Amino acid sequence: MSDNQTMNQRINQPLSQHIKADGSVTSLAEYQSNYGYQGLAKALSMSPGEVVDWVKNANLRGRGGAGFSAGLKWSFVPPLEKLPGQRYVICNADEMEPGTFKDRWLMEHDPHQLIEGLAIAAYAVQADTAFIFLRADYDLCAERLQHAIDEAQAAGLLGEQLNEAGFSLTMLLHTSAGRYICGEETALINSLEGKRAHPRFKPPFPQVSGLFGRPTVVNNTETLCNLPHILYHGIDWFANLGLGDDNGTKIYGVSGRVNNPGCWELPIGTKVADIIALAGGMQDGVKLRGFLPGGGSTDFLTHEHLDLAMDYGTIQHAGSRMGTGTMVLLDDQTCVVGMVLNLIQFFAQESCGWCTPCRNGLPFIRQILTDLEAGRGQHEDLEHLLQLCGYIGIGNTFCALAPGAAEPLQSALKYFREDFVAHIEQGCCPHGNSPTADTGLDKEAML
């Protein structure tokens, strides 16, 4: 490969350009040898308002799943002149969406990229303190991030007086103690305050009143990792990376019964089929039936959607969400009812218990699905499940956990209804599954 080709490839895959096959971490020297921390230097030479506008114009959309414009989110923070005093930025590194493993990949291999991105975000909203809220269990990420923060601090890239205007930044790593709900930004803020991670009522939005009642911005890991490159290469470059309406690249992933599961940085808007092809296709003897496009809280899509572009608008138009962009594949040897039961069990367990539809609705759904999977279901259960999906839907709950939980269930009932019916008519799981096969104990009785 010629140098030109190498450079070309690097610029097309900015977030993963330093990721090495052997799994080792990028050192500060390696990172800096390839425009590392120059995006931050550029931001620090601009005014904070210019940085906000730059990122707003780049139309960088939140990579955590919601797809909200990062620059627009920042612009809701009141200017320092109007609201002086402490403000915060937080990196949401609480990756726990079932089927999602992209942020771990970015943090384990290239921690400086995240640190630089977070510093840029902090400067844009004039925060002098930045937290990385890292999920529990990501021990290797914690070790490598802390080392990289210390390196950046020692090199004067973080700390006091980072530019002529006197911008200073302290960066702190907080490792969580578990629970999926911490990924919800207001629950995350409560958790960082040392409380139970219940979501907060909005408004006020965190940008106005967040951590300790101060203006706070929470951005996903992958979103922040885009910032150094957008600042360094510019808005046009970023816009040209995307294939459709969205700009930049996306870390896509595939898991399930494929030959080569993994994640890859591709132009945002790459076709679903092309992403699955990178995963080496299905394993011998199994056929693809459907997929969750972006984690456990997204609606199933099927064969008819394989030619769609994986971007926010296209996938939403098809009735699902791109979510985290990490797909979970359903094959013909896997029981749909069992898979949905597994997802609902996760959401029922991870409900924080704050509001009734989620706290009571999800265990109710879990019980009906347990009965269906065990062959104890009835035809009217299916209508009942759809009704419950409505009860726990958007507008009825405090946060998006329960509406997200309803998505795989409602779409499974739409696309794979015959599988549910087969369980009822045969009085057992056609795949021979038992909902209590893992422990020999009834989960419901244990809880």
Partner 1 sequence: MTPIIVTDAATNCADWRLQIEPLNEHEEAAIAAEIHHYPQPQAATIEALKIVQQQQGWVSDGKLKAIAQRLQMSPDEVDSVATFYNKIYRQPVGRTVISLCDSVSCWIMGYQGLAQALTKEFNTALGETTPDGALTLLPTPCLGACDQAPVAMVGDQLVHQLTPASLIQLAREQSS
Q: Which residues bind partner 1 (CB under 8 A)?
A: 86, 95-101, 103-104, 135-140, 172, 174-180, 191-197, 212, 253-257, 261-263, 292, 296, 326, 328, 330-331, 334, 338-339, 342-343, 345-346, 349-350, 352, 433, 437-441, 446
Least distance from partner 1 to the Cβ atom of residue 72, Å: 28
User: Cα–Cα–Cα angle for 23, 330, 271, nearest 5°?
Assistant: 70
The answer to whether residues 46 and 234 touch, using CB atoms and an 8 Å cutoff, is: no
Give whichever of 221 and 314 is closer to partner 1, judged by the CB atom.
Answer: 221
Which one-letter DSSP state was computed for residue 427? T
The answer to whether residues 193 and 203 touch, using CB atoms and an 8 Å cutoff, is: no
Q: Which token pair is 441?
A: 């104990």
Least distance from partner 1 to the Cβ atom of residue 260, Å: 9
Q: Which token pair is 265?
A: 């940085």
Going by C-alpha positions, the residue among 237, 201, 207 that lies closest to residue 87 is: 207
Going by C-alpha positions, the residue among 171, 46, 57, 160 that lies closest to residue 117 is: 171
Least distance from partner 1 to the Cβ atom of residue 213, Å: 10
Give whichever of 103 and 246 is closer to partner 1, judged by the CB atom.
Answer: 103
Least distance from partner 1 to the Cβ atom of residue 103, Å: 8
Bridge-based pairing of strands 326-331 and 288-292 is antiparallel
Q: Which token pair is 199?
A: 């979501």
Give whichever of 57 and 126 is closer to partner 1, judged by the CB atom.
Answer: 126
Least distance from partner 1 to the Cβ atom of residue 150, Å: 14
Q: State how far the Cα of 29 lies from the Cα of 152, in Å rounded to an integer.
A: 10
Give whichever of 28 and 171 is closer to partner 1, judged by the CB atom.
Answer: 171
The answer to whether residues 390 and 441 touch, using CB atoms and an 8 Å cutoff, is: no
Least distance from partner 1 to the Cβ atom of residue 372, Å: 17
The answer to whether residues 249 and 14 touch, using CB atoms and an 8 Å cutoff, is: yes
Q: How many CB atoms lie within 10 A of CB 151?
A: 18
Q: State how far the Cα of 352 lies from the Cα of 347, in Å rounded to an integer.
A: 10
Give whichever of 38 and 342 is closer to partner 1, judged by the CB atom.
Answer: 342
Least distance from partner 1 to the Cβ atom of residue 62, Å: 18
The answer to whether residues 83 and 215 touch, using CB atoms and an 8 Å cutoff, is: yes
Give whichever of 6 and 24 is closer to partner 1, judged by the CB atom.
Answer: 24
375 — phi, psi (to 5°)?
85, 15
Give whichever of 198 and 233 is closer to partner 1, judged by the CB atom.
Answer: 198
**Cβ-proximal residues to 324 (8 Å cutoff; 6+ apart), any chain:** 63, 64, 65, 97, 99, 100, 102, 294, 295
Give whichever of 11 and 447 is closer to partner 1, judged by the CB atom.
Answer: 447
Least distance from partner 1 to the Cβ atom of residue 101, Å: 5
Give whichever of 115 and 231 is closer to partner 1, judged by the CB atom.
Answer: 115
- Side-chain half-sphere exposure of 126, counting CA atoms within 13 A: 21
Least distance from partner 1 to the Cβ atom of residue 192, Å: 7
